[in-house]
Structure 1
Amino acid sequence: MDALARKIIYAHGGLDRWKTFNTLTAHLRQGGVLWPLKGYGGKLDETNVTVGLGREWASHSPFGPEGKVSRFEPGRVEIRDATGKIVDELDKPRASFAGHTLETPWTEPQLAYFAGIAMWTYLNMPFLLAAPGVVCRSVGAWKEKGETWQKLEVTFPPDIATHSTVQTLYVDDAGLLKRHDYDVEIAGNTPGAHYIGGYVEVQGLRFPTKRRIYPRQPDGTSLAEPLVVSIDLSDIRLA
Structure 2
Amino acid sequence: MTDLRDLVLEAHGATQWKRFRGLEGDMSIVGSLWARKGWPEVLKDVRVTVDIPGQQLSYQPFTAEGLRSFYRPDLVAIDTVEGKRLRERANPRTFFADHSPATPWDDLHLAYFSGYAMWNYLNTPFMFALPGFSTEEIEPWNENGETWRRLKVTFPDSVATHSPEQVFYVGGDGLIARLDYFADVTGGIPTAHYMSDYRDFDGIKIPTRRRAYRRNPDGTPMANGLGVVIDIANVRFF
* Common topology (TM > 0.5): yes
Letter in 1 for 2:68: V
Identity of aligned residues (%): 42
Q: Which residue number in structure 1 is paired with residue 170 of structure 2?
A: 171
Whether contact under 8 Å (2:76, 2:111) holds in the other structure is: yes
Q: Which residue number in structure 1 is paired with residue 32 of structure 2?
A: 33
Letter in 1 for 2:13: G
Q: Which residue number in structure 1 is paired with residue 212 of structure 2?
A: 213
Q: Which residue number in structure 2 is paired with residue 106 of structure 1?
A: 105
Q: CA deviation at 1:84?
A: 2.2
How many residue pairs match? The answer is: 237
Segments of structure 2 that go 5 or more residues without pairing to the other structure are none
Q: Which residue number in structure 2 is paired with residue 128 of structure 1?
A: 127
Q: CA deviation at 1:17?
A: 1.5
Q: TM-score, normalised by structure 2?
A: 0.97
Deviations 1:181-203 (A, max 9, x none): 11111111111110000011111
Q: Which residue number in structure 2 is paired with residue 66 of structure 1?
A: 65
Q: CA deviation at 1:54?
A: 3.1
Letter in 1 for 2:106: T
- Distance, in Å, in 2 between the alignment partners of 1:58 and 1:83 is 17
Q: Which residue number in structure 1 is paired with residue 161 of structure 2?
A: 162
Whether contact under 8 Å (2:213, 2:221) holds in the other structure is: yes
Q: Residue 223 of structure 2: SS of its match in structure 1?
A: coil
Q: Which residue number in structure 1 is paired with residue 52 of structure 2?
A: 53
Q: Residue 209 of structure 2: SS of its match in structure 1?
A: strand
Whether contact under 8 Å (1:51, 1:120) holds in the other structure is: yes
Q: Which residue number in structure 1 is paired with residue 8 of structure 2?
A: 8
Whether contact under 8 Å (2:73, 2:92) holds in the other structure is: yes
Change (3 A) 1:13 1:82: closer
Q: Residue 45 of structure 1: SS of its match in structure 2?
A: strand
Whether contact under 8 Å (1:54, 1:124) holds in the other structure is: no
Deviations 1:94-115 (A, max 9, x none): 1010000111011101100000
Q: Residue 89 of structure 1: SS of its match in structure 2?
A: strand
Whether contact under 8 Å (1:51, 1:119) holds in the other structure is: no
Regions of 4+ moved over 3 Å? none
Question: RMSD between aligned alpha carbons?
Answer: 1.1
Q: TM-score, normalised by structure 1?
A: 0.96
- Distance, in Å, in 2 between the alignment partners of 1:66 and 1:10 is 39
